[in-house]
Structure formats: C-alpha cells, structure tokens
C-alpha cells in the first residue's frame, strides 16, 4: 500500500499484479480510501468506517494479530485458534 519499502516485512508475496504483505501503520490513508469505494464496501459491509476507527483497528487488532500469527508460524506453533481464522471459519459455515 503506502510504503514501497517491502524489505522490512516478514510476510511478503510478490506477484506480477499484486504484492501481499502484513498491514503497516503507513497503510492507514490508502486502506481508509480503499474501504470507502463502493466495490469494496458492497462486499465488506462495515469496513467503511471513519479513519480514527480504522487507525484503532490497525493498532489494536490487525497489526498485533498479524504479528501473533507470524510469530506462531515462526515458532512452529498452531494458528487455528487465532481470531482471524475463527472469523474466517464462521464465514465459511454461512
């Protein structure tokens, strides 16, 4: 997103058309702008929140949970009980 310096990312998957990596605080402005696009919030209702809320989510949930996931993978531990995966499992059951 915002930063072109991807070398400090632990998870960095670069493809021809997209780069996947963990969230960084520098992503706030672009992520906020992206989530207010109708093509996004049509499929992700509730993601188009005020920038202060997005900042709170990044700092208190998304970044720490990404770091927790990456640390568990690095330590060879299970990741099944992490919040992100539980949320995904609920979606899969609907």
Asked if pLDDT for residue 47 goes beyond 60, the answer is yes
Identify which of 20, 53, 59 has the alpha carbon closest to the alpha carbon of residue 35: 53
pLDDT in tens, 1-34: 444 444 455 778 899 998 888 888 999 999 999 9
Q: Where are the domains of the chain?
A: 12-93
Identify which of 62, 7, 6, 66 has the alpha carbon closest to the alpha carbon of residue 31: 62
Total-model pTM: 0.67
Beta strands 19-21 and 12-14: pairing type? antiparallel
């Amino acid at each position: 997103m915002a930063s072109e310096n991807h070398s400090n990312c632990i998870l960095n998957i670069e493809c021809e058309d997209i780069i996947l990596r963990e969230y960084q605080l520098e992503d706030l402005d672009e992520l906020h702008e992206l989530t207010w696009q109708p093509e996004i919030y049509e499929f992700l209702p509730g993601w188009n929140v005020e920038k202060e809320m997005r900042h709170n989510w990044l700092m208190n949930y998304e970044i720490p949970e990404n770091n927790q996931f990456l640390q568990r993978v690095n330590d060879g531990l299970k990741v099944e009980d992490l919040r992100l995966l539980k949320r995904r499992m609920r979606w899969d059951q609907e």
